[in-house]
Amino acid sequence: MGSPLDSLFATSAATPDADGRRIPVLLPVALDQTYDYLLPADIEAPPGSFVLVPFGNQQRMGVVWDRSDQGGKSVDSKRLKVVIAVMDVPPLPALSMRFAEWVARYTLSPRGMVLRLMMSASTAFEPPPPKFGVQLVGEPPHRLTPGRQRVIEVARDGQVRAKSALAAEAAVSTAVIDGLVASGTLVDVELARPRLPVPDPDHVTGSFNPAQELAIHGLQASVDAGSFSVSLLDGITGSGKTEVYFEAVARALLKGRQVLILLPEIALTSGFADRFKRRFGAGAAEWHSSVGPAERGRVWLAAASGEARAVIGARSALFLPFSDLGLIVVDEEHDTAFKQEDRVSYQGRDMAVVRAHMGNFPLVLASATPSIESHVNARTGRYRHLKLGERYSGQLLPDVQAIDLKTDQPDRGRWLAPRLVSEIVTNMGKGEQSLLFLNRRGYAPLTLCRSCGHRIQCPQCSAWLVEHRFRQRLTCHHCGFHLPIPEKCPKCQTVGGLVACGPGIERVAEEVRERFPDARVAILSSDLTPSVKELREILGQIARGEADIVIGTQIVAKGHNFPGLTLVGIVDGDLGLGQADPRASERTFQLLHQVTGRAGRAEKAGRGFVQTHLPEHPVMQAIISGDREAFLDREIQLRQAAMLPPFGRLVSILVTARVKAEAEDYARLAARKSPPAARIEVLGPAEAPLAVIRGRHRFRLLVKAPKEVDLQAYLKAWLDALPQPKGDLRVQVDVDPYNFL
């Protein structure tokens, strides 16, 4: 018998014969072109086939492409390497190839790197582990040990069971089972591979309010039309958007099409999978970073074979090889978690639009606070705009008030204004839940020496170290560097002079415990509860009312339903506003709106309080008045006037190196060499606001152009003409950037 790998390969090729054919192969590496290989005459490998080929001195798996980049350049056939094997998996659909090419061109990434995203399920290409079980055959012999007897009792129903399961049920060791197999009483039987459950579009059909009916009608019409369209499902928190788009999902399933639901933070949205199951009677396949390798392989294959009817996934699920995708829903479409920044830097929501366009099927974008981009598309009529203006429960949105920190100051060293404290007291008196939100992990963002004024910085980043008192460390949030909390100033050596400045979530928790010693406090922060399981548990406790005061970072903003929550306090409403980011206002608005929207979702009305130094700021005004349209009008006007997205496009080019001068010189050279073009502006280079991360100096260029300009062509011509970056110099191109730090 050969190795298990042998069974994988249709044929193993030895030497090419004269009839060998040339085929182009794209490899999942940082290369933008296909390479020709020879396919032995006795092997079939139509375009899309996954093949194993020699590459350098290793073997790699790639995909037979349907267009060659080497066709004309004719490398002598005799010098071509030979395909080693064809993998026994469904071929990559042509649509996936086109999508890979499109994403690569748009993001200025090598095609191979996009293909790599499409192949990130290594176990799909391995032979499935044969699963054997055992079954009772014939009559068991007389005179058995009690253990064996118990096994027979259990197995008497004739079912096939895994050995371990049978052993557990009969309370014996697997050795007992093996003994019975050896004596011929039990036989090994191959277990059928469990199939994915099939969601039933008609499992539960509810009743809807008139606004929901209208939206459902609109979405179903899009699905029925069976062609590309984008619908923006714009409904306030609790308006029942999920229930609405589930009806569109049902319609697509009914038509036999595959459905993909993208969520920003899927690992935390365990409630979502359950909800899907309740509606459709069967769970959807899941695809995100916490899905283990074996399951990834299974889902990948099921997407390709069509067995997976519905997938719930993070942004990377877009790159699954769906055989017949017919609907994508992007929930919380405004969420910046859809943007990937490393390697291929893409905006998942935008690429979902592209994918739907290529597949000629409808797309639904859902949010309570849609992005400015989507609002503009809705206003210009490119997207169908479906609004849900009321909560399903009939409950009004919370009444939100500003607490002006200039006049209503917290006591020294405290972070909660007297007004907010007394509101929490009242709320607790009524037996209702309160939430305090601060988007900052740790205890304090800065540690300062009272004696010499020294601020403790990260040795490899231009950032302060954040105190994490619970873990007894100062930590850098950019590189993970940490040290124990020092007793004396690292600079002047004064003992006991270090003071924590500013609040982080742990410090707010400390204040809450002091002020409300009897309250049951729950803290939600990714660093205090690193495991998803624990986080889910705490979320569950909060939902069941087992906490009086919840303190959380942005984790709490993400679509959780806390029925007993009636008061939300934003500790620092101004936190996101100071950043060098064209979307700062938009993002602050979205975040504050989403967080305050957690209040009062069940029977009781909710209230929100935003502590701010800027009560007149348009974002605060919009949050307080609830006048979203006025905010949008203003924000859209500002963007238009400045030609910022979505009216103009931005591309960030980040040049980094260990030696500052190298990064700076290259960035300057790049700017000098930028080809003059009428409507394209190249700004910078400028030192990035985070000038150093992990010891690498960072310089940024920003390219700005009107939407109609083919910026990719411009960039490609420009960047290709620049000298190859040498040494550790790195150039990262980010089309449609969301990060300006």
What order do you get walking across the sheet with 132-136 strand by strand?
A: 161-162, 132-136, 186-190
Stretch that binds ligand ADP, among 31-39, 241-249, 280-288, 411-419 (CB under 6 A): 241-249
Asked if residue 646 has a cis previous peptide bond (ω within 30° of 0), the answer is yes
Q: Are 150 and 170 in contact (CB under 8 A)?
A: yes
479 binds, among ligand ADP, Zn ion, none (CB under 5 to 8 A by kind): Zn ion
User: Residues touching Zn ion: how many (CB under 5 A)?
Assistant: 7
Q: Are 590 and 334 in contact (CB under 8 A)?
A: yes
Residue among 4 and 206 whose Cβ is closer to ligand ADP: 206
Residue among 238 and 362 whose Cβ is closer to ligand ADP: 238
235 binds, among ligand ADP, Zn ion, none (CB under 5 to 8 A by kind): ligand ADP
Quick check: 442 binds ligand ADP (CB under 6 A)?
A: no
516 binds, among ligand ADP, Zn ion, none (CB under 5 to 8 A by kind): none
Reduced to 3 states (helix: H, G, I; strand: E, B; else coil), residue 649 is strand
In the region spanning residues 525 to 564, those forming contacts with ligand ADP, defined by CB under 6 A, are: 561
Residue among 217 and 455 whose Cβ is closer to Zn ion: 455
Please state the three-class secondary structure of 597-656 as a single string.
CCCCCCCCCCEEEEEECCCCCHHHHHHHHCCHHHHHHHHHHHHHHCCCCCCEEEEEEEEE
Q: Are 288 and 267 in contact (CB under 8 A)?
A: yes
| Distance spanning both ends of the chain, measured CA to CA | 58
Residue 202: how many other CB atoms lie within 10 Å: 10
Counting every residue written for the chain, the total comes to 741
Q: Whole-number minimum distance, CB 392 to ligand ADP, in Å? A: 4
Among 49, 222, 231, 237, binds ligand ADP (CB under 6 A): 237
461 binds, among Zn ion, ligand ADP, none (CB under 5 to 8 A by kind): Zn ion
Quick check: 243 binds ligand ADP (CB under 6 A)?
A: yes
| Residue 371 host element (H or E) | none
Quick check: 297 binds ligand ADP (CB under 6 A)?
A: no
The stretches of 25-72 forming alpha helices (DSSP H) are none
Q: Whole-number minimum distance, CB 465 to Zn ion, in Å? A: 8
Among 392, 562, 589, 609, binds ligand ADP (CB under 6 A): 392
Distance between CA atoms of residues 438 and 504, nearest Å: 7
In the region spanning residues 194 to 213, those forming contacts with ligand ADP, defined by CB under 6 A, are: 206, 208, 212
Q: Whole-number minimum distance, CB 377 to ligand ADP, in Å? A: 20
Among 112, 140, 238, 503, binds ligand ADP (CB under 6 A): 238
In the region spanning residues 469 to 508, those forming contacts with Zn ion, defined by CB under 5 A, are: 476, 478-479, 481
The stretches of 31-109 forming alpha helices (DSSP H) are 94-107
Q: Whole-number minimum distance, CB 486 to ligand ADP, in Å? A: 46
Quick check: 389 binds ligand ADP (CB under 6 A)?
A: no
What order do you get walking across the sheet with 473-475 strand by strand?
A: 466-468, 473-475, 482-484
What is the per-residue burial (b if ≥16 Cβ within 10 Å, else e) of 302-321? Answer: bbbeebbbbbbbbbbbbbbb
Distance between CA atoms of residues 453 and 450, nearest Å: 6
| Residue 624 host element (H or E) | helix 618-625
Distance between CA atoms of residues 41 and 23, nearest Å: 12
Q: Whole-number minimum distance, CB 466 to Zn ion, in Å? A: 10
Q: Whole-number minimum distance, CB 451 to ligand ADP, in Å? A: 52
Centroid of chain to Cα 233: 20
Quick check: 470 binds ligand ADP (CB under 6 A)?
A: no
Q: Are 296 and 123 in contact (CB under 8 A)?
A: yes
List residues bridging with 687 in a β-sheet.
699
Stretch that binds Zn ion, among 62-70, 101-109, 167-175, 459-467 (CB under 5 A): 459-467
Asked if residue 685 has a cis previous peptide bond (ω within 30° of 0), the answer is yes
208 binds, among Zn ion, ligand ADP, none (CB under 5 to 8 A by kind): ligand ADP
Among 116, 161, 241, 587, binds ligand ADP (CB under 6 A): 241
Residue among 477 and 558 whose Cβ is closer to ligand ADP: 558
Q: Whole-number minimum distance, CB 242 to ligand ADP, in Å? A: 3
Distance between CA atoms of residues 414 and 90, nearest Å: 61
435 binds, among Zn ion, ligand ADP, none (CB under 5 to 8 A by kind): none
Return residues touching ligand ADP (CB under 6 A). 206, 208, 212, 235, 237-243, 392, 561
